[in-house]
Amino acid sequence: MPQHLLATTPALTATTAPPSSPDSAWQRQRGGKLRGLSFHQCLLAAFLLITAVLGGAAAQAMLALEHVALQGRQASQDAAALTAQVQRLAERTVAMERSARQFLVLDDASLRDRYQAAWADARATQAALAELMGDAVAQSLLAEWVTQAGSAWEVLQGPGLARARSAALKRLTPLFARLHRLNELLTEHSQQAMDRRSDAVLAELEQQRNLISGLVLGAIALAGLLAVGFGHWLLRPLAHVEAVIGRMGDNRFDEPIAIGGPADLRRLGRQLEWLRQRLATLESDKTRFVRHISHELKTPMASIREGAALLRDGVAGPLTPDQTEIVRILGDNSMALQRQIEDLLRYQTLASNSQQLQRRATDLPALLGRVVDDQRLLWQARGLDVRVQAQPCTAVIDGEKLGIVLGNLLVNAVRFSPPGGRITLALGQGDGKLRIDCLDDGPGVAPEDAARIFDPFYQGGNQVPGARRGSGIGLSIVREIVQAHGGNCCLLPAERGAHFRIEIPHAT
C-alpha cells in the first residue's frame, strides 16, 4: 500500500472514537436520580386502579342489596306483627261482648271485671296498632273503637241496670256491631298498609337494581377506558421503539430519538439515541474511509492498466503466446477491479445525495418513457420485449433521482431476463400514492435471498450463467432514494420471474 495511503489511516481511525459513555450522559440528564414510575410499576398501578373501580362497584352493590334485604325483613316482621295485633283486637272484642252479655244475663260482677280486663288488653293492642299504623285513618278508626267500647262500659255501669237489662242488651247490640265493623275496617286498612309497604320495598328494590346496574356498567366502562388509556400510554412507546429499531436497521440515522412513557422506557430511549449517534458516526467514518480508499486505489490501478496495455502493444518487445495470455488476464482483471471501484464510488455518491431531493412537478409516463429509451440498446441486444403500462400521472417528486430508480430496476430486469423474454413496467396511482411495478421472466429471487435483496453489495444465488456478476448496489440505491421520498419498496411473490413494487406518497 502506498505510504501516502498509510498516512491517512490514523486520521480515519481517530474519527471512529466512540462518544462519551452513555451512562455518564444519562447521569447528567437525570440529575443523578431517575424520577417517575417504571413500566412494571405502571402496570401494577393500572391493575390496582381498575381493581379498585370494580371492587368499589361490587361493594356498593353489596351494601345496596343488604339495605333492601333489611327493609324487606323489617316489612315482613311489621306485617306479621300487624296481622297478629288486628287478630288479637278482634278476639278481645269478642271476649268483651261475651262478658258483657253474660253479665247482663247472670248479673255476676266477675263477668264485668272480665269485660274490663279484656278491654284493658284491647287498649294495649290498640297502642301497638297505633304504633304500627301511624296514619290518620288508622288513628280515627282506633279512636272510634275506644269511644264505642267506652259507651258499652257505661251501659254496664248505668243506674237501674237490674230493672232494665233487656234495654241494656238492646243498647249493647249496635255498639258491638260497630266494634266488629271497626275491626273489619282495621283489618282491611292493615292489609292496605302491608300492600303499600310491600310496594315500597319493591320500588326500593327496583331503584337499587337500577343503581347497581348503572354502577356496574359505569365501572366496566371506566375500567375499559382506564385499560385502553393505560394500554395506549404504555404500548405507544413500545411501538415507537420498534419503529426506531426498524429505521436504524435501514441505516436511517437522521432523526433524533425521543421515547416517552414510563421511566425505564425513557431510559431505553436515551440508550437508543446514544446508539443512533454512535452508528451515525460509524457510518460516516465508513463512508469517508471507503471514499478515501477508492480514490487512492484508482491511481495505482490506472498504472497497472497502463502497464498491461503497453506490454500487450509490444512496446517492451515481442511477447510469447504464454506471456500474451498472462497480460490479457492481467488487463481483464484490472479492468474488472476498476469497474468495481467506480461502482463503489458511485454508490457512495448516490447514497450521500439520496436524502437531498429537488422536488418538482414531473410527468411520470414521460419519465418512464425516457428511461426505457435510454436503455433501448441494452434490452434490444438481448431481444427483450419491454412493455410500458402507464396512466396519465403528474407528481411532485425528484424526477432525476426517480429516473435512477427506474433505470436500476430496468437494468436489473434486463440482466436477469432470458433472451426473448418480456419485461413489464406498470405505473399507477391511488390513495395518494404513486405505484410502480417491474416484472420480468427471469429466474426470480431465491426465498433465502428475499430478505436481503436490497442490502448493499449483496448478490443473490440466482445469477445469470456466464454473465458478469454485478456489484450488488443497484437495488440498494433504489431503496435509498425511495425511502428519501417517504415511500417503500418490496419484492412481491410471483409465479414467474421477479416482481418489484415501489410506492411513493405524492402531491399532484
- Full set of structural domains in the chain with CATH: 46-219 (1.20.120.1730), 254-353 (1.10.287), 357-505 (3.30.565.10)
E strand or H helix at 66, and its extent?
Answer: helix 39-106
Q: For a pLDDT cut of 90, what percent of the chain falls above it?
A: 2
The pTM score is: 0.44
User: DSSP state, 488?
Assistant: E
Q: Is the model's pLDDT at 9 over the cut of 60? A: no
pLDDT at 163: 60
Tens of pLDDT, residues 46-94: 778 878 877 887 787 788 778 878 877 887 887 888 888 888 888 888 8
Which parts of 16-38 fold into alpha helices (H)? 22-30
pLDDT at 1: 38
Q: Is the model's pLDDT at 199 over the cut of 80? A: yes
β-strand pairing of 385-390 with 422-430: parallel
Q: For a pLDDT cut of 70, what percent of the chain falls above it?
A: 83
Least confident of 8-12, 72-76, 239-243, 247-251: 8-12
Q: Is the model's pLDDT at 2 over the cut of 60? A: no
Mean pLDDT value across the chain: 77
Amino acid residing at 223: A
Most confidently modeled range among 232-236, 237-241, 499-503: 499-503
* Burial call 405-438: b when 16+ CB within 10 Å, e when fewer: bbbbbbbbbbbbbeeebebbbbbebeeebbbbbb
pLDDT at 438: 92
DSSP tally for the chain: helices H, then strands E: 12, 7
Q: Is the model's pLDDT at 215 over the cut of 60? A: yes
Q: Is the model's pLDDT at 19 over the cut of 50? A: no
E strand or H helix at 362, and its extent?
Answer: strand 360-363
Alpha-carbon distances, residue 235 vs 39, 47, 170, 240, 252 (angstroms): 10, 15, 96, 9, 23
Tens of pLDDT, residues 153-180: 888 776 656 566 777 788 888 888 888 8
Per the CB < 8 A criterion, the answer to whether 119 and 170 are in contact is no
pLDDT at 350: 62
Q: Is the model's pLDDT at 283 over the cut of 70? A: yes
In DSSP terms, 424 is beta-bridged to 387, 439
- Using only C-alpha atoms, what is the Rg of the chain? 53
pLDDT at 162: 56
Per the CB < 8 A criterion, the answer to whether 399 and 362 are in contact is yes
What average pLDDT score do residues 299-316 get?
78
Band (pLDDT 50/70/90 cuts) for residue 353 is: low
Band (pLDDT 50/70/90 cuts) for residue 12 is: very low
Q: Is the model's pLDDT at 20 over the cut of 60? A: no
Most confidently modeled range among 105-119, 414-428, 438-452: 414-428
What average pLDDT score do residues 130-136 get?
79
Band (pLDDT 50/70/90 cuts) for residue 18 is: very low
Q: Is the backbone of residue 342 left (phi > 0), alpha (psi -120 to 50) or beta?
A: alpha
pLDDT at 22: 44
What average pLDDT score do residues 326-342 get?
76
Tens of pLDDT, residues 23-38: 444 344 433 333 466 7
Name the CA dihedral angle for 409, 411, 412, 414, rounded to a multiple of 10 degrees: 120
pLDDT at 16: 38
Q: Is the backbone of residue 428 left (phi > 0), alpha (psi -120 to 50) or beta?
A: beta
**Between 411 and 39, the higher pLDDT residue:** 411
Rounded Cα distance between 67 and 209, Å, is 12
